[in-house]
Structure 1
Amino acid sequence: MTRVRWWGTGLVALTLLVLCAGLPLLNKALGSGGKPLAPGTVLSVGTVRDGVRPITLTVPHAGWALEEASTSLTGNAELTSEDVVVNLNVVVPLAPFDARDLWDGLGRILAVGGRAQLGPRPVPIMTAHGLTGLTGTITGRERTGTAAVFATDTLGATVTAAGPPLAFRSVAPEVHAMVRTLTIAAPWTSETGP
């Protein structure tokens, strides 16, 4: 008669338990793995032309990280601080548009996802560089935040920021300061000088 030894099976089961339960806890404890950004870091997004990306945003405070896996600098950048996510997106219009058109379009996109919606009455916003747009609130299931849209004749940008209400309130002044640094190089056209 052969003897069955269960210690090997028990060791495999323990290893699987550690991997399945322990790694997600470790990942949460260590953070998202984003690239930490120093205060004053300037992010540039959009298609490069003559070595320059057209849309910039400055991160004025410590504690923010660039989520490289969710970022494609030709179209967007995702930043995180704790449970708050900031998304900067480039908008290339197919027809003439303004900030109101962009706000309405962003509202439709958020509504399709079903997790958040824009507030109904945006208010004007002006960046430190004189770029004008619209800003307002985002609400959703256990999330709150803000959105801002900016449009020029040739390019637009949306900035959304949301997280759990307490987490968002703690970084809201930083988010608003970040949005006010946004620039869009204009005109961003293919025309060349004489």
Structure 2
Amino acid sequence: MTRVRWWGPGVVALVLLVLCGGLPLVNTALGSGGRPLEPGTVLSAGTPKGGVRPVTFVIPAAGWMLSTAETSLTGNVKVFSGDVAVNLNVVVPLGPLDARRLWNGLERIVEAGGQHRLGAAPAPIPTPDGLSGLSGTISGRDRAGTAAVFATATLGATLTAAGPPRAYAEAAADVEAMVRTVRIRSPWP
């Protein structure tokens, strides 16, 4: 009589069970690479002076995550909620800077990527702190969003937000609130 050994197929089944069932559980436990943010969290970017980074904005509602992998506090902050991503970038000018020039530069950068376009007619957008900038739309294949630019004499900021049209429509009020909280403090006296 032949002796049947099941340990070989049993090991293969165990490995498949770990790969098919265990890895998704590990992925869920580790999260999506983001850190949850509380409403009212102030995020800042730029080179710090006196311990303060010069460009800030506020998270208005729950559900937003900080993308730790795609954030470099000296230059940019990326947050996301579902499929909608918001990017704040600090702009250090090499010459005179104003919101119109910054919008034109952002437009060239966005178009160079080949997948999105900025709306042709940005509208003025003031913040409660008296910072004024320009805001308009971003569109692309299966994408909708907003872009805003702000400039002072010494520093600028761009904030772009985009996602699938339905997801962006759901997040639009939060994005608008973020745009209106952008502040730029001069890093130099």
Do these two structures clear the TM 0.5 threshold for a shared fold by scoring above it?
A: yes
Partner of 2:161: 161
Q: Letter of the 2:62 partner, please give it.
A: A
Q: Does 1:97 find its partner at 2:85? A: no
Give the 5 Å matches for 1:1-194. Answer: 5-9=8-12, 11-12=14-15, 15-16=18-19, 22=24, 26-27=27-28, 32-186=32-186, 188-189=187-188, 191=189
2: CA distance, partners of 1:58 / 1:9: 51
What is the DSSP-based 3-state SS (H/G/I as helix, E as strand, rest coil) of the residue aligned with 1:90? Answer: strand
Is residue 33–residue 69 contact of structure 2 (8 Å, CA) maintained in 1? no
Q: 1:128 to 1:138 in 2, by over 3 A?
A: same
How far apart are 1:89 and its partner, in Å?
Answer: 0.5
1: CA distance, partners of 2:106 / 2:21: 42
Q: Letter of the 1:124 partner, please give it.
A: P
What is the DSSP-based 3-state SS (H/G/I as helix, E as strand, rest coil) of the residue aligned with 1:49? Answer: coil
TM-score for the superposition, normalised by structure 2: 0.87
How far apart are 1:74 and its partner, in Å?
Answer: 0.7
Q: Letter of the 1:67 partner, please give it.
A: S
2: CA distance, partners of 1:59 / 1:6: 52
What is the DSSP-based 3-state SS (H/G/I as helix, E as strand, rest coil) of the residue aligned with 1:173? Answer: helix
How far apart are 1:32 and its partner, in Å?
Answer: 2.0
How far apart are 1:33 and its partner, in Å?
Answer: 3.3
Q: Structure 2 unaligned runs (5+)?
A: none
Q: Write out per-residue CA displacement over residues 110-159 of structure 1, whole angstroms, 9 at most, x where no aligned residue.
A: 11222211111111100111100000000012110000000111000000
How far apart are 1:15 and its partner, in Å?
Answer: 4.7
Q: Write out per-residue CA displacement over residues 17-52 of structure 1, whole angstroms, 9 at most, x where no aligned residue.
A: 5578x479x55x985231111111111110001111
- Of stretches 6-15 and 144-153 in structure 1, the one that deviates more from structure 2 is 6-15
2: CA distance, partners of 1:143 / 1:150: 23
Is residue 127–residue 181 contact of structure 2 (8 Å, CA) maintained in 1? yes
What is the DSSP-based 3-state SS (H/G/I as helix, E as strand, rest coil) of the residue aligned with 2:181? Answer: coil
Q: Structure 1 unaligned runs (5+)?
A: none
Between the two proteins, the alignment pairs up a number of residues equal to 186
How far apart are 1:63 and its partner, in Å?
Answer: 1.1
Q: 1:168 to 1:15 in 2, by over 3 A?
A: same
Q: Letter of the 1:75 partner, please give it.
A: G
1: CA distance, partners of 2:115 / 2:18: 37
Q: Letter of the 2:178 partner, please give it.
A: M
